[in-house]
Structure 1
Amino acid sequence: MFISVALTTLALAVSQVAAHGGVLQYEINGEWYQGFKAYNTPVGQVSIQREWDTYNPITDPTDSFLACNNNGASLGSGQQSATVPAGSKVAAYWNPWPHSIGPVMVYMANCNGACSTATPSSLEWFKIDEAGLISGSVADGQWAQGELIAQNSSWTTTIPASLKPGEYFLRHELLAIHTPNQPQFYPECAQLVITGSGSSQPSGSYLVKFPGAYSMSDPGVNINVYSETTVYNYTIPGPAVWQG
């Protein structure tokens, strides 16, 4: 009986990992950075990524962990930051991603000091990249997440060249909407030290907080894609993209 229960539990865990996921690695200017290893103790791990404990999604847009996933904590002595010149390309590599329906969004936040001691939910975030419905109808068209899958489950983003130097979080987010009226948020955060001679910073409506940026009343969050066979537009949630 014990063996049977153990095997059932293992099979469930494997199926969950296969069904969902997160960012496992980053490539920045030809250099590779290991992501946090979920389902493992943070003790002894070294990463530019904040801790995330499960491949399962966040399903409530007001969840307190929406900024950097559950639990989003600093790794202490193992927490690193990648030094990145403004204007650089950053590629985030996910596990083999299974969901092809939904947008890809990338945000940053100025830590106003050291990111390792910053609380992600208290920061102001700005969007630097997004892609949603590429072509076709909402029900059976080509989505950004399908494009991500075709790119070896990766997404490449350019850090705005005019961004003011400092310590920042970089937040990748997939919003899977393949389940009717039940969003699945997959946010991941990495720490960067931005260098360069830029002086630009976003303000006003470009800045949002997590939670707070989304709600279940947003048409791009609370959606049944399968009933939208004649709809060819999708509204990506959150603020407009800040391009510097």
Structure 2
Amino acid sequence: MFALTTAFVAAFLASNAAAHGGVNRYIIDGELYEGWAPFSGGADQETIGRPYSSYNPIMDAADATIHCNDDGSASANQLTATVAAGAEITAQWDQWTHREGPVMVYMADCGGDCSAVDSSTLEWFKIDEAGLLSGTVGDGEWGNGVVVDTLEWTSTIPESLAPGNYLIRHELLALHQSNTPQFYPECAQLEVTGSGSAKPSGDALVSFPGGYSMSDPGVTIDIYDSATAAETTYQAPGPAVWSG
């Protein structure tokens, strides 16, 4: 009986992991950087990705780990990638299966060495998002669908952004379960170079947790409700995209 139970649990966990995903690597200026590998142990990993424990979703917008899907700390061997303001950064996933929902990309100024910063204390600004791209909520093309098809997402670091040390946060919000949002955020460390001087302020900045609420129209949504499914617009949660 125990052997059967153990096999069942292993199969259940594997099937759930296969249905989910997390950022596994980054491409910056043609150079490949490894991201965190949540099932490969932690002590000896050297990556620009911040640690996260699994591919499982965060189910509550107020969850204490929604900033970077972790306790807020850097790894023991944390690396930082250098990227020029105005350059592209591509996040890559090994797996992703949920087409419905937005892709959102944030950054946060560490105010110094990111490895010494708790990501839950930072203020974040959105640099990219893609929600409902075409069609209707119930039968349209979504940003998440692009990730399903390509297993990657490319964003541009705002050209006017002031140089410094930043975290970048890629988040997939899956809406395939009625009124049950699934958040998948992962973070990495960047050193931004360039001659820009712009920094976001005011309404462009949010904290995590705090940036979203379960009552936000883009968070708790039933895409199978007939009236909602017929809509041709969708409001992604969080602030507007800051372009600098």
Q: Which residue in the other structure is 1:197 paired with? A: 195
- Cα separation, 2, equivalents of 1:72 and 1:55: 17
Shift, 1:72, TM fit: 4.1
Q: Flag as ranges the 4+ runs of structure 1 deviating above 4 A.
A: none
Shift, 1:5, TM fit: 2.4
Q: In 1, are the aligned partners of 2:127 and 2:241 still within 8 Å (CA)? A: yes
- Cα separation, 2, equivalents of 1:114 and 1:230: 47
Q: Which residue in the other structure is 1:146 paired with? A: 145
Report percent identity of matched pairs: 53
Q: Which residue in the other structure is 1:79 paired with? A: 78
Shift, 1:4, TM fit: 1.8
Moved more, 34-43 or 102-111: 34-43
1:3-18 paired onto structure 2 within 5 Å: 3-18=3-18
**Structure 2 unaligned spans of 5+:** none
Q: Which residue in the other structure is 2:129 paired with? A: 130
Q: In 1, are the aligned partners of 2:125 and 2:239 still within 8 Å (CA)? A: yes
Q: Which residue in the other structure is 2:27 paired with? A: 27
Q: Which residue in the other structure is 1:116 paired with? A: 115
- Cα separation, 2, equivalents of 1:215 and 1:2: 42
Local SS of the residue matching 2:6:
helix
Q: Supply the AA of the counterpart residue of 1:131.
A: A
- Cα separation, 2, equivalents of 1:167 and 1:70: 20
1:223-234 paired onto structure 2 within 5 Å: 223-227=221-225, 228-234=228-234
What's the TM-score, normalizing by structure 2?
0.97
Shift, 1:16, TM fit: 1.4
Shift, 1:202, TM fit: 0.5
- Cα separation, 2, equivalents of 1:89 and 1:184: 27
What's the TM-score, normalizing by structure 1?
0.97
Local SS of the residue matching 1:198:
coil
Q: Supply the AA of the counterpart residue of 1:164.
A: A
* Match of residue 177, structure 1, among 175, 178, 183: 175
Correspondence 1:51 to 2:47: no
Shift, 1:96, TM fit: 2.0
**Structure 1 unaligned spans of 5+:** none
Provide the aligned C-alpha RMSD in A.
1.0
Correspondence 1:166 to 2:164: yes
Q: Write out per-residue CA displacement over residues 97-130 of structure 1, whole angstroms, 9 at most, x where no aligned residue.
A: 1000000000000000110010111111000000
Q: Write out per-residue CA displacement over residues 211-234 of structure 1, whole angstroms, 9 at most, x where no aligned residue.
A: 001001100001001112321110
